[in-house]
Amino acid sequence: MMRTISNNNEVENDYEGSLKKGPWTQDEDAILIDYVNTYGEGNWNSVPKNSGLSRCGKSCRLRWANHLRPNLKKGAFSPEEERVIVDLHAKLGNKWARMASQLPGRTDNEIKNFWNTRIKRRERAGLPIYPPEVIRDATLYHIREEQYFDQPYNSSLSSSSFPPLLSSSYPKKLNASSHYHALVNPKKLNASNHYRGPLNHKKNQPISLYGSSSNLFNNNGFVISNNYARPVSHDYQYYNNGFNTSSIMPPLAPSSVSSSITPPDSVTPASSNVSGVDGFMGASSKVNNEQYEVSQFSPQENIGLLGALVVDGRSILRNNKTRSEDSTVVAAAEKSSNKRKSIVIMENALERGTTVESALKKKKNSGKSSNETPVSSSGTGKKQIAKEASLALEEIDVSWDDDLCSLLNNFPTEMPTPEWYSGGDHKAESSGRETHQQPNAPPPPIDQELGWNNVGTSWNNMPSIC
């Protein structure tokens, strides 16, 4: 619903000469458009001086960016856009600007408003925020990130508080501005978690790995590698219909750095050539007086709510004392290796729908004579997988915090994907009041408690909110 800007200058100046606030008038818009067309964008503080507008530069920039600049898409979000937003939010968190970069013509403010209004609605209805499929894929996404970005010696992220983890999938109030904020907002992070990815040569800024759809993952010669196979579930098929799938894929190692499927160790000898790729900057760190090249991106750069889940889980897994001067590189590496194995096992099990126990047994038996205990065949549910994942992790002697076990054991189980997400008939929910049902609705809900049933559970047909 677009509201026309009133011509009435109802917002009076506080006093003569002050900068005006409130809604913009058409006249003001015209002045700003004319100014930008003449002088171009930027140097916003000079706009009020040179154009005669009684608006601060900041306000001018915002007005231009959100409403006046060309190629802005107006109107309600399309179903595809909405699904992209949900997916991106699961992966990135409240990174509105980055999300906007994935949605041409959309502004961060639009996306933010879209999200907030729907979150509020769902919260009020006591419904989960993300569809289960999104949770699963985002979890895999972050697990993969962790495989690449595990930083045994750089663990300044707090693990003191276990974030809501999958709380986003449960009818639990989400307070995005609480401790979670510290996890998703890189600005709030400890300086030691600085970005280590490719940099923009001009500004010496990190290159957004989620940049415009035309240059994803290959800015500044950063080569996209397909070596690291990412299973694309049917849930992501829609991305190929006008949206770039790679935009939501985990960051990939430069092909010249890692040409095999094996994730690079987080700490590699300094002799490794990681600076050969233009735009990719390897950072050095000293451990026990030895120089190591750390070639990795900071996962904190694109962490989402579910990312916080994994990061905190990782922090739990990680021995927080590994930064101690007494730790040896070897010991830490072994520990890290075990943890990574566990993650791989979990991940593979989640992907294939097999049990972690089975995966682990296969791994164990690959070097031993068979002395098998029956392998669970019924545990294809995520809950079962998660449960067995924790068992598997115990077996390989990885310390496993109760909280993380709780996370795995509470992994949402067998919740059907709502029709709006799975590409069914979608009705714009801008009004938020209409109700509709799929004529060929899948079987009745399995987990009505969480609201991911087929009757009145999608964002389009949420139950009426009192």
Q: Which of 18, 43, 161, 215 touches DNA by CB under 7 A?
A: 43
> Would you say 172 or 427 has its CB closer to DNA?
427
Query: Which residues in the 91-130 window bind DNA by CB under 7 A?
Result: 94-98, 108-110, 112-114, 116-118, 120-121, 124
User: Nearest 5°: CA angle at 112, between 120 and 98?
Assistant: 140
User: Nearest 5°: CA angle at 353, between 349 and 358?
Assistant: 50
Binding mask 4-33 for DNA (x = CB under 7 A): -xx---x---------xxxxx---------
Closest distance of CB 421 from DNA, Å? 17
Residue that is written with structure tokens 């907002």 in the block:
185
Closest distance of CB 453 from DNA, Å? 19
For residue 90, give the 3-state DSSP assignment: helix
Closest distance of CB 36 from DNA, Å? 12
Binding mask 201-240 for DNA (x = CB under 7 A): -xxxxx----------------------------------
Closest distance of CB 413 from DNA, Å? 28
Q: Which residues touch 321 (CB under 8 Å, ≥6 apart)?
A: 327
> Would you say 5 or 270 has its CB closer to DNA?
5
Among 31-39, 41-49, 126-134, 230-238, which window interacts with DNA (CB under 7 A)?
41-49
> Would you say 96 or 162 has its CB closer to DNA?
96
The reply to whether 73 sits near DNA by the rule CB under 7 A is no
Whole-number Å distance between alpha carbons of 26 and 325: 64
The CA-to-CA distance between both ends of the chain, in Å, stands at: 23
Closest distance of CB 422 from DNA, Å? 21
Nearest partner of 344 among 398, 296, 308, 293, judged by Cα: 398
- Residue pair 152/314 in contact (Cβ under 8 Å)? The answer is no
The reply to whether 62 sits near DNA by the rule CB under 7 A is yes
User: What letter would DSSP give residue 167?
Assistant: G
> Would you say 97 or 281 has its CB closer to DNA?
97
> Would you say 28 or 357 has its CB closer to DNA?
28
Q: Which of 27, 39, 58, 334 touches DNA by CB under 7 A?
A: 58
Whole-number Å distance between alpha carbons of 291 and 2: 57
Query: Which residues in the 185-204 window bind DNA by CB under 7 A?
Result: 185, 187-188, 191, 202-204
Closest distance of CB 223 from DNA, Å? 24
Question: How many residues in the shown chain lie near DNA by CB under 7 A?
Answer: 62
> Would you say 3 or 368 has its CB closer to DNA?
3
- Residue pair 134/86 in contact (Cβ under 8 Å)? The answer is yes
- Residue pair 461/428 in contact (Cβ under 8 Å)? The answer is no
Binding mask 311-340 for DNA (x = CB under 7 A): ------------------------------
Cα 53 to Cα 16, 24, 35, 67, 225, distances in angstroms: 14, 11, 10, 17, 49
User: Nearest 5°: CA angle at 54, between 48 and 57?
Assistant: 45
Diameter of the chain measured on Cα atoms? 89
For residue 398, give the 3-state DSSP assignment: coil
Give the amino acid at 391.
L
Nearest partner of 412 among 80, 137, 173, 145, judged by Cα: 137
Closest distance of CB 34 from DNA, Å? 17
Closest distance of CB 425 from DNA, Å? 18
Q: Which residues touch 322 (CB under 8 Å, ≥6 apart)?
A: 152, 153, 155, 332, 335
> Would you say 228 or 421 has its CB closer to DNA?
421
> Would you say 55 or 382 has its CB closer to DNA?
55
Whole-number Å distance between alpha carbons of 48 and 67: 18
| DSSP percent split of the chain into helix, strand, coil, nearest 5 | 45, 5, 55
Closest distance of CB 85 from DNA, Å? 12
**What backbone phi and psi angles, to 5 degrees, belong to 58?**
-60, -45
> Would you say 106 or 382 has its CB closer to DNA?
106
> Would you say 162 or 459 has its CB closer to DNA?
459
> Would you say 40 or 367 has its CB closer to DNA?
40
Angle between helices 132-149 and 305-317 (to 10 degrees): 50
Closest distance of CB 375 from DNA, Å? 44
The reply to whether 42 sits near DNA by the rule CB under 7 A is yes
Residues near DNA (CB under 7 A) are 1-3, 5-6, 10, 20-24, 42-46, 55, 57-59, 61-63, 66-67, 76, 94-98, 108-110, 112-114, 116-118, 120-121, 124, 176-177, 181, 185, 187-188, 191, 202-206, 429-433, 465-466
